[in-house]
């Protein structure tokens, strides 16, 4: 009984802190992030080659967002997964909640301030092998919720990243370099995508911060 009471009081305290901006929720962790040693092994296994088909990318070749469960599409699924105290309506649209962006540490209480970032951007996937995939496979990649490919982040940070790889863009929080690199490597490994020499060098350096 005492344990239940303490748990209830702790939950009430956290809710109160968040309500008045005095507490900051930890960011959620998407599935499939490898251990550092595994990430290094997976990076070593990736094919290093120059980007190809750099002028033929078309966003429409990567259909998003799929329905994942009930009325919830991919974006809404990730918002619920990565947020704290997320409330949705009958259409699965988030009406309230708190999200902490791991890229920059920003905390948001409006879903409109949050983008769902593709860890490996769709254009980067295209120029590193996805150009040869079927549209169905590209759709699966764009809606991949079983690997660390989709992250709820601050909208303007996501827009700053755009389609850049780690040799051109890194998260504002250097403390997130390790996790970012591990997630990037895992996605490229699972989907058998290539890396450029500069990309591999940057990922190796970021893994060195782990």
The more confidently predicted of residues 21 and 141 is: 141
124 in a structural domain = yes
pLDDT band with cut points at 50, 70 and 90 for residue 26: low
Q: What confidence tens digit (pLDDT) does each residue in 131-141 have?
A: 999 999 999 99
pLDDT at res. 17: 34
Question: Which whole number is the average pLDDT over 139-154?
Answer: 98
Supply 89's token pair: 């309506």
Q: In what order do the strands lie in the sheet with 84-88?
A: 84-88, 94-100, 107-108
The more confidently predicted of residues 12 and 190 is: 190
71 in a structural domain = yes
CA distance 201 to 121: 18
138 in a structural domain = yes
Q: What percent of the chain has pLDDT over 90?
A: 86
Domain count, the chain: 1
51 in a structural domain = yes
Q: Is residue 49 scored above 60 in pLDDT?
A: yes
| Strand, helix or coil for residue 87 | strand
18 in a structural domain = no
CA distance 72 to 163: 26
85 in a structural domain = yes
Q: What confidence tens digit (pLDDT) does each residue in 101-126 have?
A: 999 999 999 999 999 999 999 999 99
43 in a structural domain = yes
**Range of the structural domain that residue 64 is part of:** 25-207
The more confidently predicted of residues 16 and 53 is: 53
155 in a structural domain = yes
The more confidently predicted of residues 27 and 75 is: 75
């Amino acid at each position: 009984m005492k344990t239940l009471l303490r748990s209830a009081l702790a939950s009430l305290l956290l809710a109160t802190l968040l309500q008045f901006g005095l507490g900051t929720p930890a960011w959620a962790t998407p599935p499939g992030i490898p251990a550092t040693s595994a990430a290094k092994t997976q990076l070593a296994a990736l094919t290093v080659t120059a980007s190809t088909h750099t002028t033929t990318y078309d966003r429409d070749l990567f259909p998003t967002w799929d329905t994942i469960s009930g009325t919830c599409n991919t974006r809404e699924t990730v918002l619920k997964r990565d947020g704290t105290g997320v409330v949705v309506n009958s259409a699965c649209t988030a009406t309230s909640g708190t999200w902490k962006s791991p890229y920059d540490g920003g905390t948001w209480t409006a879903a409109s301030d949050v983008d769902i970032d593709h860890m490996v951007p769709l254009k980067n996937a295209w120029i590193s092998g996805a150009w040869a995939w079927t549209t169905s496979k590209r759709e699966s990649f764009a809606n991949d919720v079983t690997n660390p490919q989709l992250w709820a982040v601050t909208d303007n940070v996501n827009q700053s990243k755009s389609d850049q790889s780690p040799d051109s863009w890194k998260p504002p929080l250097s403390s997130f370099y390790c996790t970012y690199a591990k997630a990037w490597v895992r996605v490229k490994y699972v989907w058998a995508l290539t890396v450029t020499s500069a990309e591999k060098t940057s990922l190796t350096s970021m893994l060195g911060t782990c």
